[in-house]
Amino acid sequence: MNFKAFVYVTLKQGYSDPEGETTSDALKGLGYNVSSVRSSKAYEVIFEAADRKKATSLVDEMCRRLLTNPTKDDYRVEISEL
């Protein structure tokens, strides 16, 4: 079965996020009433797995092995069957 996973990687709370801060300042400069911006990364992964349970565990493994560093990153996954 083919699956599509969206993986959202965000910096853990408490870490300064220069990209988010700069973007926040820029949005304020454009006149928006923005209180904060946090930057994040998203990956769209298309892959094969035997079933949904296996697909979930495979994406989790991908996140732990490469897509995130647990020291500084949190992640969230949305999986759908293709």
Residues within the interface to other proteins (CB under 8 A): 11-12, 14-19, 22, 64-67, 69-72
Closest among 38, 34, 15 to 25, alpha carbons compared = 34
Comparing CB distances to other proteins, the nearer of 8 and 15 is 15
Smallest distance, Å, CB 71 to other proteins? Answer: 4
Comparing CB distances to other proteins, the nearer of 48 and 74 is 74
Burial label for 38, CB within 10 Å (0-12, 13-18, 19+), is middle
Comparing CB distances to other proteins, the nearer of 1 and 57 is 57
